[in-house]
Amino acid sequence: MVSLQPDFATTADALLGLFPDGSYVDDSGELVVAGLRVSELAETFGTPAYVVDEDALVRQATGMRTAFTDRWPNSRVVFASKAFPCTAAYRALARAGLGIDVAGGGELTAALSAGVDPAELVLHGNAKTLEELNLAVDAGVGIVVIDNFDDIDRLERIVRHEQRVLVRVVPDIHVETHEAFATGQMGSKFGLASPEAERAISVLRHSDRLHLAGVHMHIGSQICDLKPFAAAVEALVRFGEFDVYDLGGGLGVRYTYSDDPPSFEQWVGTLVEAAREFLPAAAQLIIEPGRSVVAGSGITLYRIVSVKPGSPTFVAVDGGMADNMEVALYDQRYEATIANRVGGGSFVNIVGRHCESGDRLINGVALRDPVVDDVLAVPSTGAYCFALANNYNGARRPPVVFCRGGVARVVVRRETYDDMLLRDVFDS
């Protein structure tokens, strides 16, 4: 797939618009992110590597929280941490005033190890195990989202003191996004549709261990149309009045030159406008952005391993679907540049090193004279790339490098081959 705007794609300014705010090209033609030259980051930390502009991450989180509380004072922003379940991110976002949404025992354990206040955690999941619920209850997790009646039965057995819960409901809203990202329509595996949701609400209102605080809904991810968000808020009216309404996340982000998602202010404005019309004025509103919090602050660095001329020309890098599954799973489009030759060039296909024909990172991207050992920088990879990293073909999962004010530090080290053998049990 060739970029929809090839002329625009050849300019350095266009590329910089996809990198973290404050990125620039220095006098030598080198891409600089978070005050650090990208080629030097690759030399110091190796490739592939996930690089995060920590200041950009914190600015995004703080701006989101402020934009929401300015419009609806009784509100909370909770980070959907499945997008980037990294302990350093948990710490940074908690310091910025965000709660954390965890979708399983591993994310819960990571958030707790990062020092996040358990009361600021929200536990999700359509298939929570008894072990995970015990972990949450023992830790004092603030809210557990009920996805089914089995959640209720298990919690009733293990809760010793009152536990706040929300019921996840299906608002029956269709959105324009990848099929795998849609979660608010009838037939979704998540949540309870009427009248089952109404029955769960009735059961919980009579529980002496579970305190029903309100309802939760989430209509999907990477959504760039605001109308479904407003319609979903209106759909909550049928379930009654509550103290808390969790409106989920789903705001789309900019991956390519042609993407034009709404701003966070526009998204929150739409939600608040609908809430003022349809929900109780005294209610607390919660939103759970994930992708839109972290995607834009992260980039991935690779080295070019091979350039195979032809039609098309294949530029192969030292990573691929083991460090970025978004392309293979969801056909996600990205852009890229040579770190010291930003903008311009001819269209090539960037492919990974894994034994799959589907291991194609970006088709039809303009690179200027790519050669072996060049550093390649791919923007907008802060969401889901780290979370979905794997060991396909024995790939070692990349490090995560946080950069701030011209200083870089490793917050997740590169996996070693010894790490990959740690769980193996050898016969004596």
Over residues 392-420, the pLDDT tens digits come to: 999 999 999 999 999 999 999 999 999 99
Indicate the DSSP class of residue 149.
H
On whether both 139 and 250 belong to a single domain, the answer is yes
**Cβ atoms 358, 321 nearer than 8 A:** yes
Together in a domain, 327 and 185:
no
Q: pLDDT class for 10, splitting at 50, 70, 90?
A: low
The Cα–Cα gap between 368 and 353 comes to 21
Query: What is residue 188's predicted lDDT score, i.e. its pLDDT?
Result: 79
Q: Cα–Cα distance between 21 and 56 in angstroms, integer?
A: 6
Catalytic residue among 86, 355, 385, 403: 355
Q: Residues 146-183: pLDDT tens digits?
A: 999 999 999 999 999 899 999 999 987 877 777 766 67
Mean per-residue pLDDT for 215-226? Answer: 92
pLDDT at res. 181:
67
132 with 89, same domain?
yes
User: Does residue 195 lie within any of the structural domains?
Assistant: yes
Domain end residue (candidates: 230, 258, 289): 289
What does the alpha-carbon distance between residue 127 and residue 125 come to, in Å, rounded to a whole number?
Answer: 5
The verdict on residue 427 lying in a domain is no
The strand pairing partners of 315, in sequence order, are 307, 350
pLDDT at site 401: 98
Please give the average per-residue pLDDT across 206-218, as a whole number. Answer: 96
Whether residue 299 sits in one domain with residue 277: no
Contacts of residue 252, defined as CB under 8 A and 6 or more positions apart, other chains included, come to: 177, 221, 222, 223, 224, 259, 261, 262, 291, 292
User: Which of 412, 419, 411, 372 has the alpha carbon at shortest distance from 395?
Assistant: 419
- Mean local confidence (pLDDT), 142-147: 98
225 assigned to some structural domain: yes
Q: Is 314 found in the same domain as 218? A: no
The answer to whether residue 308 is domain-embedded is yes
Are β-strands 346-351 and 360-367 bridged in parallel, bridged antiparallel, or unpaired?
antiparallel
Burial (CB count within 10 angstroms: exposed 0-12, middle 13-18, buried 19+), residue 313 = middle
| CATH number of the domain bearing residue 371 | 2.40.37.10
Residues 46 and 113 both lie in one domain: no
Q: How far, in Å, CA of 127 to CA of 320, rounded?
A: 30
- The yes-or-no answer on residue 224 being catalytic is no
Q: What is the pLDDT of residue 428?
A: 67
Q: 302 and 256 in one domain?
A: no
Cα dihedral sign for 363, 369, 373, 379?
A: negative
Assess if residue 110 is contained within a domain: yes
> Can you name the residues that pair with 167 across neighbouring β-strands?
146, 215
Give the contacts of 151 (CB within 8 A, at least 6 positions apart).
128, 133, 144
> How many domains, in total, are found in the chain?
2
Domain end: 289, 316, 342, which one? 289
Q: Whole-angstrom Cα distance, residue 289 to residue 293?
A: 6
CATH number at residue 284: 3.20.20.10
Read off the DSSP letter of residue 119. G
Q: Does the residue 355 lie in any domain?
A: yes
| pLDDT of 6 above 70 | no
Instruction: Give the span between the Cα atoms of 339 and 291, in whole angstroms.
Output: 25
The per-residue pLDDT of the chain, averaged, comes to 94
Residue 397 CB burial class (10 angstroms; 0-12, 13-18, ≥19): buried
Q: What is the pLDDT of residue 177?
A: 78
Strands 31-33, 36-37: pairing is antiparallel
* 274 and 155 together in one domain: yes
- In which band, very low, low, confident or very high, does the pLDDT at 5 lie, cut at 50, 70 and 90? very low
Q: Is residue 229 part of a domain?
A: yes
Query: Which tens digit of pLDDT belongs to each residue from 274-304?
Result: 999 999 999 999 999 999 999 999 999 999 9
Place 8 in a pLDDT band, splitting at 50, 70 and 90. Answer: very low
Q: Which of 243, 269, 289 is the last residue of a domain?
A: 289
Please give the pLDDT value at position 175.
78
**Residue 218, pLDDT above cutoff 70:** yes
* Domain identity same for 209 and 340: no
Q: Report if residue 164 sits inside a domain.
A: yes
**For the chain, what is the radius of gyration of the CA atoms?**
22
Do 141 and 192 reside in the same domain of the chain? yes
Range(s) of the domain holding residue 32: 6-54+295-421
Give the pLDDT confidence of 42-93 residue by residue, as tens digits: 999 999 999 999 999 999 999 999 999 999 999 999 999 999 999 999 999 9
Q: Are both 262 and 364 inside the same structural domain?
A: no
Cα 69 to Cα 50, 97, 213, 238: the distances in Å are 31, 11, 20, 26
The reply to whether 202 and 108 lie within a common domain is: yes
